[in-house]
Amino acid sequence: MASTGSVADQEGQVMLLGFWFSPFVKRVEWALKFKGIEYDYVEEDLTNKSTLLLNSNPIHKKVPVLIHNGNPIAESLVIIEYIDETWKKNPILPQDPYDRAMARFWANFIEQKVTESTREALVSQGEQQEKKVKELKEAMEVVEGEAKAKLNDKTLFFGGGNGVGYVDFVLGWTCNWMETIEEVGGFKVLDPANQPHFHKWMANFREVSFVKATLAPKEKLVEYFRIVRQARLGLLLPYIRESSAKARSRNPESKQHHPESKNYHACVVVC
Amino acid sequence: MAEEEVKLFGTWASPVSRRIEVALKLKGVQYEYIEEDLTNKSPALLNYNPVNKQIPVLVHNGKSVAESLVIMEYIDETWKHNPILPADPYERAMARFWAKYIDEKFWPAAMKIVVANGEEQKGEIDEIQQQMKNLEGELKEKKFFGGESLGFLDIAANIIIWLVVAQEALGMDQILNEEKLPVLYGWLQRLLDDAVFKECVPPKDRHLDLFKVKFGSSK
């Protein structure tokens, strides 16, 4: 990847600690790629978090963590603002204070009402899940309203005239993960007929070069999030026993530790 | 600059509303304060914040901004003197990280304490004390999180006062005190003593009375 050249004194060493399936990590990757920043990516092992991760984010012990010149920063939205303030090329947030406030407001709304509600719907069932799905649908109506108001044939993204921006990066996880989580969670919020502007935005965002290049395959995501859901609902143990039994019947000689149970432990630890 | 019209919709007991008052006063910005009744929200509030319908809302020359931390950043970027956020991007990131921590971890934990009982309450208290110890780690030897004067995180962290008053209303003193959390306790005294901040804190009795009604004075 081409170097950013003129801001050499800001370059230093940039490292990103992440998990392949995390939408929060993906946002930060998009921001780095958008700015043309070179970085070292470190894939963490959920079941065996590195000393570097635990030292860099002792409070939350989560990814993403950006380490720039040895200084660690956690929380994806905080990281993106840091990136924007440190590398000035290709601004992510708008320049005008009011426009910046609007971008931050919507980022906040998306995190609290869309991202959090989706996460909660993924790991709940019955009445609890119905409640979360209802909240999520209401939030999506607001998102569709914003998309309708702000986007058109000339303005494809929430970043406005400059192309993709902060809100696009924050909402962007929906274009790959929402379908997956719907399938795994057994609910539906995506509704092309009633969310035409949002769906158009998703389609356009998916086509952005650095987004397209980094989307994880759906089958892999479904498999991973299925385990997350089952682990949280306490449904995994019978599944592990059944899978182990099937694996043993296929290969009675194998002493291989069943991979699912490693992931089960990991999910319980992480989620 | 041309005539500025600044309005703040808030409530007197709300720590998030207080954040904005402190920020505006630190910058010396003249503003009109509108006290909202949250059981009967004004048409103006609903008009200016149709999405969340919450206070605080800042209206600057007719344009509205909601969400307290978003408003604080707006204030800092619009009125550039007496900066609230530090200049260095890394320090700014730290201030934002801890302000988020306060809103996403501390605040929910504090709300839980006042409604919990027995063992559950004890668990919540242990957790919030750990959170406050974490905050102490960020403060270290400094007078304020912002250094010599109030900064973004000091203003955001004023929520801790809510816990102190709630603690007293509940007839407790073991959650936040000088013995358990000397560094944070010292910071709190300096915050309450600050000339600007003092103007924004409601009279203790009034605050206590409200909490006693809301949460009860005995367990």
The C-alpha atoms of residue A146 and residue A101 are separated, in whole angstroms, by 15
Q: Which residues pair with A41 in a beta bridge?
A: A16
Largest CA-CA distance found in chain B, in angstroms, rounded: 58
The answer on pLDDT for A154 being more than 60 is yes
Question: What is the model's pLDDT at position A100?
Answer: 98
The answer on pLDDT for A112 being more than 50 is yes
The C-alpha atoms of residue A16 and residue A27 are separated, in whole angstroms, by 12
A74 contacts B92? CB cut-off 8 A = no
Q: Which residue has the higher pLDDT, B78 or A4?
A: B78
CA–CA min distance B212, chain A (Å): 30
Place of tokens 């509108």: B34
- What mean pLDDT is predicted for residues A87-116? 97
* CB atoms near residue B115 (< 10 Å): 12
Residue B10 to residues A192, B56, B75, B160, B201: CA-CA distances in angstroms?
39, 5, 16, 18, 13
Q: Which of A:205-244 have CB within 8 Å of B?
A: none
Strands, sheet with B63-66, edge to edge from the N-terminal-most edge strand? B32-35, B6-10, B57-60, B63-66
Which sign, positive or negative, has the C-alpha torsion A53, A57, A63, A67? negative
Residue B52 forms contact with A (CB below 8 Å): yes
What's A140-173 look like in SS3? HHHHHHHHHHHCCCCCCCCCHHHCCCHHHHHHCC
Reported as a pLDDT band with limits 50, 70 and 90, residue A242 is low
Q: Which residue has the higher pLDDT, A246 or A254?
A: A246
Reported as a pLDDT band with limits 50, 70 and 90, residue A149 is very high
The answer on pLDDT for A256 being more than 70 is no
The beta-carbon neighbor of B89 closest among A86, A101, A108 is A86
Residue A74 forms contact with B (CB below 8 Å): yes
Question: What is the model's pLDDT at position A189?
Answer: 97
- What mean pLDDT is predicted for residues A209-231? 93
Residue A243 to residues A47, A150, A180, A225, A251: CA-CA distances in angstroms?
20, 49, 22, 17, 12
A74 contacts B100? CB cut-off 8 A = no
**Nearest-10 crossing angle of helices B182-193, B118-139:** 70
| β-pairing verdict for B6-10 and A71-74 | unpaired
Give the best residue of A73, A76, A77, A106 to mutate against chain B (max B CB count within 10 A): A73
Question: In b/e form, how buried is each residue of A105-120, taking b as 16+ CB within 10 angstroms?
Answer: bbbbbbbebbbbbbeb
The answer on pLDDT for A118 being more than 80 is yes
The answer on pLDDT for B33 being more than 70 is yes
- What mean pLDDT is predicted for residues A234-248? 64
The answer on pLDDT for A238 being more than 90 is no
Please answer whether residues B72 and B106 qualify as being in contact, where contact means their C-beta atoms are separated by less than 8 angstroms.
Answer: no
Structure tokens at B159: 């929520």
A81: nearest CA in chain B?
Answer: B93
Strands, sheet with A65-68, edge to edge from the N-terminal-most edge strand? A40-43, A14-18, A65-68, A71-74
The answer on pLDDT for B30 being more than 50 is yes
Question: What is the model's pLDDT at position B40?
Answer: 96
Task: Give the least confident one: A84-98, A120-134, A226-240, A241-255.
Answer: A241-255
| β-pairing verdict for B63-66 and B6-10 | unpaired
Which percentage of chain A shows pLDDT scores above 70? 83
Question: What is the model's pLDDT at position B211?
Answer: 87
Q: Which residue has the higher pLDDT, B61 or B169?
A: B61
The C-alpha atoms of residue B180 and residue A203 are separated, in whole angstroms, by 54
Question: In b/e form, how buried is each residue of B155-185, taking b as 16+ CB within 10 angstroms?
Answer: bbbbbbbbbbbbbbbbeeeebbeeeebebbb
DSSP B118-166: HHHHHHHHHHHHHHHHHHHHHHTT-SBTTBSS--HHHHHTTHHHHHHHH
The answer on pLDDT for A1 being more than 50 is no
Residue B77 forms contact with A (CB below 8 Å): yes
Chain B residues within an 8 Å CB radius of A82: 89-90, 92-93
Q: How many CB pairs under 8 A join A and B?
A: 59
Q: What is the pTM of this model?
A: 0.90
Task: Give the least confident one: A128-132, A189-193, B193-197, B212-216.
Answer: B212-216
Residue A92 forms contact with B (CB below 8 Å): no
What is the CA B37 to chain-centroid distance, rounded?
19
> Residues 6 or more apart from A116 whose CB is under 8 A from it?
none
Which percentage of chain A shows pLDDT scores above 90? 78
Torsion (CA) B183, B186, B188, B194 in degrees, nearest 10: -140
B93 contacts A81? CB cut-off 8 A = yes
The radius of gyration of chain B's CA atoms, rounded to the nearest angstrom, is 17
The answer on pLDDT for B218 being more than 70 is no
Give the angle subtended at the CA of A202 by the CAs of A200 and A207, to the nearest 5°: 100
CA–CA min distance A133, chain B (Å): 18
Structure tokens at A99: 């426009």
Question: What is the model's pLDDT at position B116?
Answer: 86
Task: Give the least confident one: A168-182, A255-269, B67-81.
Answer: A255-269
| β-pairing verdict for A65-68 and A14-18 | antiparallel
Q: Which residues pair with A66 in a beta bridge?
A: A16, A73
Give the angle subtended at the CA of A245 by the CAs of A240 and A250, to the nearest 5°: 125
Place of tokens 């260095």: B88
The mean pLDDT value of chain A amounts to 88
Backbone φ and ψ of B7, nearest 5°: -125, 145
The answer on pLDDT for A185 being more than 90 is yes
CA–CA min distance B171, chain A (Å): 31
Question: What is the model's pLDDT at position A46?
Answer: 82
Residue B78 forms contact with A (CB below 8 Å): yes
The C-alpha atoms of residue A144 and residue A262 are separated, in whole angstroms, by 39
pLDDT (tens digit per residue) in B149-186? 999 999 999 999 999 998 888 888 889 999 999 999 99
pLDDT (tens digit per residue) in B184-210? 999 999 999 999 999 999 888 898 898
The answer on pLDDT for A11 being more than 90 is no
Residue B130 forms contact with A (CB below 8 Å): no
pLDDT (tens digit per residue) in A36-71? 999 999 999 988 999 999 999 999 999 999 999 999
Question: What is the model's pLDDT at position A162?
Answer: 75
Exposed (0-12), middle (13-18) or buried (19+): which is B70, by Cβ within 10 Å?
Answer: buried
Structure tokens at B192: 């309450």
Reported as a pLDDT band with limits 50, 70 and 90, residue B136 is very high
A113: nearest CA in chain B?
Answer: B52
**Nearest-10 crossing angle of helices B204-215, B159-169:** 70
Residue B129 forms contact with A (CB below 8 Å): no
